[in-house]
Chain A
Amino acid sequence: MKFDTPAGQNPIDQLKVVGKPHDRIDGKYKTTGTALYAYERNDAVANHAYGYMVGSAIAKGRINAIDLAEAKGAPGVIAIVTAANAGKLTKGDFNTANLLGGPEIQHYHQAVALVIAETFEQARAAAQLVRVDYARGKGRFDLATELKGAPLKPAEDKGPPVDRVGDFEGAFGKAAVKLDARYTTPDHSHAMMEPHASIATWEGDKLTLWTSNQMIAWGKGDVAKTLGLPKENVRLISPYIGGGFGGKLFVRTDAIMAALGAKAAGRSVKVTLQRPLMINNTTHRPATMQRIRIGATKAGKITAIAHESGSGDLPGGQPETAVNQTKLMYAGANRLTSMRLAVLDLPEGNAMRAPGEAPGLMALEIAMDEMAEKLGMDPVAFRIANDTQVDPEKPERRFSQRQLIKCLQTGADSFGWNRRNAKPAQVRDGKWLVGLGMAAGFRNNMLMKSAARVGIDRKGIVTVTTDMTDIGTGSYTIIAQTAAEMMGVDLDKVVVKLGDSDSPASAGSGGQWGANNSTSGVYAACVKLREAVAQKLGFNSTDAEFADGKVRSGNRSVSLAEAAGDAGLVAEDAIEYGDLDKKYQQSTFAGHFVEVGVNAYTGETRIRRMLAVCAAGRILNPKSARSQVIGGMTMGAGAALMEELAVDKRFGFFVNHDLASYEVPVHADIPHQDVIFLDEVDPISSPMKAKGVGELGLCGVGAAIANAIYNATGVRVRDYPITLDKHLDKLPEIA
């Protein structure tokens, strides 16, 4: 189905099932431990051996030699895979660094060997006996140093190195009120709870991988490319995924090494990345150094805005696109955005939840708070005054929907924003300095082709099959809701089968595009199935009604089960998009409001209240969508207050590479969280009239927390995370 004109009225608009806060249909499996994750497929694989990974002890250089003699002689060892015996490997399209190092080493903890043994304990013990002789090379590990002289990186291939509208420098020079400030965000780790894991089985030349991967079709392609196999010989199966956040968008070394290990061992092999290896072995969100300049009239109209960001990555890598939202967030006739990309020999930088916007808004939305203060304006009013309903770079493009103002106003009313004291460091509650902060949230809505197959059997059960993944996002449930609505059946009459590369290729899970696109693909397949049902019964498909498990046309009514008959009925289709995302800018918006207490004696920050108001098209399931938003808010609290990969600039690795030292929010850090969804349908986005919401909750919340801390303390911290050492010596005098 081609979607190239805005959606009219369609069966989804009945909202009998879609839009309802149904419990997750996979909930009873997840809560009883019966949902099987990649490493747990004893149902599918018998007599497997265990692989244990060895990571490089240097960040850059070469392996002179690996002595495997002792490891090979250890009890239970079956085989050991290294670059010397792995055969030819080709880097996947989505990887920046090779997934098996040697002789060249590209980053710390890059895989250099997999030891396969009869048991996990034997593999682990033998892995300690692999002796690697390294020649350490000189690496580049300090972002600030390497950004000096780093080249500009155009936002689009072949685009200009600096994006300009009007005359930024001239307008900024003449502006009545100005801000010129620098902000930094550190490297972040996805730190999903399920480590990367795979089981590999070969049948002749055909490889099956039970793995934990967000993007099955991309993964199938890259496994095939890396191992030099035809695509049709590779199958990925990933029905449950213990979190991803972008860290499982791409094939990682567990999958490749399990495949190589299984070949070497002559039997199935399972591999999980041990937790202390994950942070340096896999990808992370790159650190940024940002400069923001804003010029405005005395009345608070922005006349000039510039956002420049620098980040680093391995050779051939990409920048963290932290300036992107600034192209679209606020009005202003004179604009400048640019990015610099330094070469670093740290582990591979890549996408983490809301890449670009997450760190970009952490800076931009502090800058807006600072600017509001300079203007003597309320931060909500300042943002409202600079709203735009068109793409400021291409004013002929309107936003398909843009309710940012309503998000901010609704949030301000609900949160009691009028109780905020605009003068910082004025409110005390016992030992706590109390502050309120807010920020705007923004994340684009991306459209991607997505396919599904839907069938009805002789019992009237509707089965949806697609390679779509559920990484905690609620895909199972919203796909079931979509099929139930379209086919006119109850939710418990729908079976959803996900995460198998033999199924039709979906949009996958990433960039908050999963829900809208995958359900639209299911919608397309259901439209085709409805036609097939109508045709079989001799009904006119335009007036056939699907409800209560029956199809009605005129005075005829037939149950779906009967219509399907013994042979059943199946239809497959995909949603494909025209140029509505070029004609219109499609984005999602939020207002984030936060109250913090900062301990007047210790400088410790505690979040007391959080509210997000979101405008993100039709909300397919308010319960699971709310969970996505509060999850984003929680991750944003981590980014604001604690998350930072500490770089060892001498040896080139992230020092705090486990869950004890890379601190993420825990129960005690997070208060009750409120979410309000504005009523919105966006017929320009898709037939579902939905947009993404999975990353919006993260976008802007870090800055809202930072602004609340400033309101509490009067100390502005521009370097995340805002740990107590950064403001302790500047806190107000203790009376």
Chain B
Amino acid sequence: MSRRGLLGAGAASVAATAVPVSAAQVGKPAAPSLAKLAFEVNGKKRTLQVDTRTTLLDALRENLQLTGTKKGCDHGQCGACTVLVDGVRINSCLSLAVMHEGDKITTIEGLGQPDNLHPMQAAFIKHDGYQCGYCTPGQICSAVAVLGEIKAGIPSHVTADLNGRPTASNDEMRERMSGNICRCGAYSNILEAMTDVAEKVA
């Protein structure tokens, strides 16, 4: 099927399953639909009543006031909102809060605190792996997860041998970190921070 044909078919199937036009256009917009949510954030059980449209990012930032996780684009384009869900990094802006019932979320606040830094946080400070600081929590969460992914043997686009074990090489780390934009341009320093941590862990 051509790309155009595929799009056409998609549109047709959407139309067939859509709410009848009359119902969508008439009357006052409905009150927001709320849902109860229970999950674990940084080791603490939290229960929330959230608008079902609330993203995981906004649940963290607005409902729980954990503002360490940043909103840079709200569209999955920048990586500033990266958090760990059951140990796996995700863009929290692309995920609805209600999808995380029972999940274990780790944010930058959970990795370490000013007087109790995670090794990756300490390495970012030592190597000046940041400037304005806005992408930094996302970079650090991603960096921690990347080293974990490499250790777990998960290949990336630049892994030459899919049957071998990837190593924490510059190419591997740069490739895997490329979803986290730093407009201040601290990439060279972030790589040094990650290398520092990778060598200590290994």
A pairs with B:
yes
A contacts, CB < 8 Å to B: 23-24, 26-37, 39-40, 42, 70, 73-76, 119-122, 125, 129, 190-195, 240-245, 272, 274-276, 471-474, 623-624, 626-628, 630-635, 658-660, 664-673
Provide 8 A-B residue pairs closer than 8 Å at the C-beta atoms, listed in order of the A residue.
A34-B68, A75-B29, A242-B135, A243-B131, A275-B74, A627-B189, A658-B77, A668-B178
Q: Determine the distance from Cα of A39 to Cα of B74 in the docked complex, in whole angstroms.
A: 14
Residues on A with C-beta less than 8 A from B77 are 275, 658-660
CA of A121 to CA of B125, assembled, Å: 36
Could you tell me the distance between the alpha carbons of A35 and B190 in the complex, rounded to whole angstroms? 19
9-residue interface stretch from B10-18, B112-120, B147-155, B159-167: B112-120
Residue from B128, B178, B185 in contact with A24 in the complex, judged by beta carbons closer than 8 Å? B128
A75-B29, A191-B183 known; A626+B128 contact, CB < 8 A = yes
Complex Cα gap A474–B58 (Å):
29
CB distance from B80 to the nearest CB of A (A): 6
What are the interface flags for B63-106 relative to A under an 8 Å C-beta threshold, 1 for contact and 0 otherwise? Answer: 00111111111110110100000000000000000000000000
Residue in A35, A120, A472, A667 whose CB lies within 8 Å of B184: A472
Closest chain A residue, CB of each to CB of B62: A120
Specify the main secondary structure of chain B where it touches its partner: loop
The reply to whether A33 and B71 contact each other, CB–CB distance below 8 Å, is no
B182 to A, closest residue via Cβ: A193
Would you call B32 an interface residue if the criterion is a C-beta within 8 Å of the partner chain's C-beta atoms?
yes
- Within the assembled complex, what's the spacing in Å between the Cα atoms of A121 and B111? 29
CB atoms of A32 and B117 under 8 A apart: yes
Contacts of B137 in A (CB 8 A): 31-33
Nearest CB on A from B159, distance (A): 14
Per DSSP, chain A at the interface is loop
Selected contact of B72 from candidates A275, A276, A634, CB within 8 Å: A275
Contacts of A628 in B (CB 8 A): 131
The answer to whether residues A31 and B75 also contact, given A193-B181, A471-B132, A472-B133 and a CB cut-off of 8 A, is: no
How distant is the Cα of A659 from the Cα of B135 in the complex, in angstroms? 13
Known contacts A33-B69, A129-B29, A193 near B78 by CB under 8 Å? yes
State how many angstroms separate the Cβ of B120 from the closest Cβ of chain A. Answer: 8
**A630 and B126 in contact, given A37-B134, A193-B181 (Cβ under 8 angstroms):** no
Kindly name the residue among A36, A70, A191 whose own CB sees the greatest number of chain B CB atoms within 10 A: A191
- Cβ–Cβ contact B114 & A34, under 8 A: yes
B175–A31 contact, CB under 8 A? no
Decide: B189 and A193 in contact? CB cutoff 8 A. no
Neighbouring B residues of A40 by C-beta, 8 Å:
61, 67
Q: What are the residues of chain B within 8 A of A623 when measuring CB–CB? A: 128
Cβ–Cβ contact B134 & A193, under 8 A: yes
Residues of A within 8 A of B114 (CB): 28-29, 32, 34
Bound complex: CA A548 to CA B117 (Å): 29
Point out the residue from B65, B108, B133, B178 that lies within 8 Å of A42, measured CB to CB: B65
Q: Beyond A32-B68, A74-B29, A666-B187: 5 further Cβ-contacts under 8 Å?
A: A29-B133, A75-B30, A75-B31, A193-B181, A243-B134
Which chain A residues border B132 with CB–CB below 8 Å?
192-194, 240-244, 471-472
Chain B residues with CB under 8 Å of A73's CB are 28-29
**Cβ-neighbour of A633 out of B66, B182, B185 (below 8 A):** B185
Chain B residues within an 8 Å CB radius of A632: 185
A42 to B53, CA, bound (A): 22
Q: Contact between A31 and B117 (Cβ–Cβ < 8 Å)?
A: yes
Knowing A34-B114, A121-B53, A275-B74 are in contact, say whether A667-B177 is a contact too (CB < 8 A).
Answer: yes
Interface residues on B, range: 35 or more
Residues of the A chain whose Cβ atoms lie less than 8 Å from the Cβ of B122 = 31
| Inter-chain contact B130/A631, CB cutoff 8 Å | no
> B residues near A, CB below 8 A?
28-32, 51, 53-54, 58, 61-62, 65-75, 77-78, 80, 107-109, 111-115, 117, 121-122, 124-126, 128, 130-137, 140, 170, 173-175, 177-191
Closest beta carbon of chain B to A101's beta carbon, Å: 23
Q: Which residues of B contact A626 (CB under 8 A)?
A: 128
Q: Which residue of B lies closest to A26 (CB)?
A: B133
Q: Which residues of B contact A672 (CB under 8 A)?
A: 170, 188, 191
Q: Which of A35, A76, A241, A630 is B32 in contact with, Cβ under 8 Å?
A: A76
Q: Which residues of B contact A658 (CB under 8 A)?
A: 73, 75, 77
Q: Which residues of A contact B73 (CB under 8 A)?
A: 195, 275, 658-659
**Whole-angstrom CA separation of A627 from B115 in the bound complex:** 24
Q: Which residues of the other chain, B, contact A120 by a CB distance below 8 angstroms?
A: 54, 58, 62
Closest chain A residue to B58, Cβ basis: A120
> Is B112 a contact of A32 with CB atoms below 8 Å?
yes
Select one of B32, B65, B107, B188 contacting A671, CB under 8 A: B188
Q: In the complex, which residues of chain B have a beta carbon less than 8 angstroms from the beta carbon of A274?
A: 74
| A269 CA / B34 CA spacing, docked (Å) | 23
Query: What is the bound-complex CA distance between A122 and B179, given in angstroms?
Result: 29
Whether A272 and B71, one on each chain, are in contact in the complex, defined by CB atoms closer than 8 angstroms, is yes
Chain A residues with Cβ below 8 Å from B72 are: 193-195, 242, 275, 659
Given contacts A33-B67, A243-B134, contact A627 B181 (CB under 8 A): no
User: Are the CB atoms of B108 and A192 closer together than 8 Å?
Assistant: no
Contacts of B68 in A (CB 8 A): 32-34
| CB <8 Å contact, A193 and B80 | yes
> Do the beta carbons of B131 and A667 come within 8 Å of each other?
no
Q: Of B65, B170, B188, which is within 8 A of A630 by CB?
A: B188
Which residues of the other chain, A, contact B117 by a CB distance below 8 angstroms?
A: 28, 31-32
Query: Which are the 5 A-B pairs with shortest beta-carbon distances?
Result: A33-B68, A634-B185, A242-B134, A472-B132, A30-B133
A24 contacts which chain B residues (CB < 8 A)?
A: 125, 128
Cα of A35 to Cα of B170 in the assembled complex, Å: 29
Q: Which of A28, A125, A195 is B29 in contact with, Cβ under 8 Å?
A: A125
Q: B181: which A residues are within 8 A, CB to CB? A: 193, 659, 664, 666
Report the Cα distance A474→B65, complex, angstroms: 27
Q: Are B58 and A33 in contact (CB under 8 A)?
A: no
Give the distance in Å from the alpha carbon of A672 to the alpha carbon of B108 in the complex.
26
Q: Which residue of B lies closest to A244 (CB)?
A: B132
Contact B29 A23 (CB under 8 A): no
What's the Cα separation between A240 and B177 when bound, in Å? 25
Report A-chain residues with C-beta under 8 Å of the C-beta of B109.
Answer: 32-34
Considering the chains assembled together, what is the distance between the CA atoms of A472 and B107 in angstroms?
A: 22
Q: With a CB–CB cut-off of 8 A, which chain A residues contact B30? A: 75
Q: Which of A23, A32, A473, A668 sits near B131, CB closer than 8 Å?
A: A473
Q: Which residue of B lies closest to A670 (CB)?
A: B187
Given known pairs A32-B108, A76-B32, A119-B51, the reply for A670 and B185 (CB within 8 Å) is: yes
Please report the C-alpha to C-alpha distance between residue A276 and residue B78 in the assembled complex, in whole angstroms.
Answer: 12
CB–CB A30/B71 < 8 A: no
User: Which of B58, B132, B170 has most chain A Cβ within 10 Å?
Assistant: B132
Nearest Cβ on chain B to A358's Cβ, whole angstroms = 14
Q: How far is the CB of B138 from chain A (nearest CB, A)?
A: 9
Could you say which residues of chain B place their CB within 8 Å of the CB of A471?
Answer: 132
Known A193-B70, A627-B128; judge A32-B121 contact (CB<8 A): yes
Smallest CB separation, A697 vs chain B (Å): 8
